[in-house]
Structure 1
Amino acid sequence: MSKPTIDCVQKADAQLGETPLWDAARGVLWWIDIERPTLWRLDLATGKASALEQPGTYLGSLALTRSGRHLIARDLSLLLLDPGTGATEPFAETPGEAMPDTRLNDGRVDAKGRLWIGTMDNGLTDGRGGFYRVDPDGAVAAIFGDVIVSNGIAFDPDGRHMYFTDTRRYITYRLTLDASGERVENREIFADYSATGDRPDGACVDADGCLWQAFFGGGKVVRYARDGRIDREIALPVSNPTCLCFGGRDLRTLFVTSATKFLTPDQLAAEPLAGSVLAIDGVGQGVPECLFGA
């Protein structure tokens, strides 16, 4: 297996960079800084990056849509955003009133155009969060609760299985969906780090059906074979990789966002690329991102 190459494609100092998504229609990479709520656009052809700052406290997640707009998660609300003008339109609300001090976090769209997204406890300790399915008509269905930090949502190419991580329980689950793909029939542990405290974060699935996952505080991304074995591990020049996606020509570049959050001044000095966007080539091929909408 050839040695991968790792490059920095956007030097940044994101507090909590997250949710990179390859927009094949525009040929650009989108990503967000959650805690300095900003939507970033990176044109790989020119290297030009532009920022669209958002109101609110957190910009928790991002999804591409069939209309060309973005579906963004701002605090506990979902909004449609025009990336050209910055104009937003309310779309849906998640039931956060009963669970104070929570916000929306990681999400991903399935093959039928539905968004699966979770909430999390801002204190990172209690099971205040939940997991939801958001349909194209704006209906929100609760899937399960008792989640500390929703993360790592990715879909198996077979359409019947998905992955879900509770980062602060240190567990990644493999979920089996029913025939309609609307409900979870079974939840089993796929990877358990509760004994070590390793923090699995954002994830994506490649063309071979293998799960790629970033480890916050672990300075690495790993690939799991379909049976749960780690068959590839790539060390990174940042301690806090957060999420990843395949993109670029033929979906053969693995993009990784990162964070400066929790790093000490000494660590920041030693990690000049902390908070930047990295690109890894030579590790395989991804699958196209699904688009939200009917």
Structure 2
Amino acid sequence: MTSTVRSQKVEVAVAAADVLGQTPLWCERSARLWWIDIDRQLHRSFDPATGLCTSSRHDCRFLGSQALTSDGAHMLAQDLSLGIRDCESGPLRRFCDVEQGLDNRLNDGRVDARGRLWIGTMDNELHRANGSLYRVDGDGTVTPMFGDVIVTNGIAFSPDNRILYFTDTRRYCTWCFDFDLDDGVIGNRRLFADHTATSERPDGACVDVDGGLWTAFFSGSRIVRYRPDGQIDTVIPLPATNPTCVCFGGSRLNTLFVTSARKFLDDGQLSREHEAGHLFAIHGISQGLPEHRFAANLCAPN
């Protein structure tokens, strides 16, 4: 049985008006929600205790993704390279290049329980299968996992670290893999959720403590929760056409934060959709898990 959450439970946390808000992460050390606006190259934060919102702009074409690091810094994806920002106002130190020579950019990523970053690339024209999934180790080693990807999204790990989820938004599908945490390898790829018949676009995702996979549907105005068996049991309608990604945050990790985008909406849609691009919060819907942190080796190549 699928339940629908009343729209009254959805509140605006920050009137961000992001062009392409993405990759929200809750940092328990700063007690803040961090996210990015990809197209405006903004790294943003929100303190629920004070309501303070901060932003910093970075010199790149696309600020594609982010991760927390074990030493309290932030890893940021700029175009096709990764850098580490040691403090909120400090410079970005180049960490490694993930790809070169393709008309791609880095997009969604997530750190596993051993401190490795799993991150993928996407085609800048949104239709060519130029992208790939990579594993980035703490010493800067980049290992390709597989290719033939149009738009990487929805990377998440099950609570027992035995399953990796992966979405290709422009193929309208989510897959799952067996995941070997010790060796950092994946196998036994199988279809988890197939939306090819409707061309619906699953985007960013996260898991809860019970193993449910929460997924934002770009151009779909909703969040859904999949049970571990792939069945949808919860739907949350949103006052925005383009929700992009989700994460759990707050002191109890029981607030679902949702980023969204104004991108691809025409003037008529924007005039009607006043909350497009905002950061949303839904309290008490479920409980999440702390984000793992990237274990960077400071001797990694710059």
Give the conservation status (yes or no) of the 8 Å contact 2:114–2:181.
no
Shift of 1:95: 2.3
Which amino acid letter does the alignment assign opposite residue 48 of structure 1?
A: L
Specify the alignment match of 1:281 in structure 2: 283
Match of 2:268, SS? helix
Specify the alignment match of 2:88 in structure 1: 84
When normalised by structure 1's length, the TM-score is: 0.97
Specify the alignment match of 1:150 in structure 2: 152
Counterparts in 2 of 1:1-294, with a 5 A limit?
Answer: 5-97=9-101, 100-178=102-180, 180-293=182-295
Of 41-50 and 179-188, the range deviating more from structure 2? 179-188
Which amino acid letter does the alignment assign opposite residue 219 of structure 1?
A: S
Shift of 1:161: 0.7
C-alpha RMSD of the superposition? 1.2
**C-alpha distance in 1 between matches for 2:267 and 2:221:** 17
Match of 1:184, SS? strand
Give the conservation status (yes or no) of the 8 Å contact 1:170–1:194.
yes
Match of 2:252, SS? helix
Match of 1:250, SS? coil
**C-alpha distance in 1 between matches for 2:183 and 2:177:** 11
Give the conservation status (yes or no) of the 8 Å contact 1:52–1:86.
no
**C-alpha distance in 2 between matches for 1:84 and 1:179:** 31
Where has structure 1 moved over 4 Å in runs of 4 or more?
A: 1-4
Which amino acid letter does the alignment assign opposite residue 66 of structure 1?
A: S
- Give the length in aligned residue pairs: 292
**C-alpha distance in 1 between matches for 2:258 and 2:30:** 19
When normalised by structure 2's length, the TM-score is: 0.94
Give the conservation status (yes or no) of the 8 Å contact 1:156–1:162.
yes
Structure 2 alignment gaps of length 5 or more: 297-302
**C-alpha distance in 1 between matches for 2:152 and 2:13:** 27
Which amino acid letter does the alignment assign opposite residue 55 of structure 1?
A: D
Q: CA deviation digits over 1:45-84, x for unaligned, max 9? A: 1111111001010000000001111011000000001232
**C-alpha distance in 1 between matches for 2:113 and 2:185:** 14
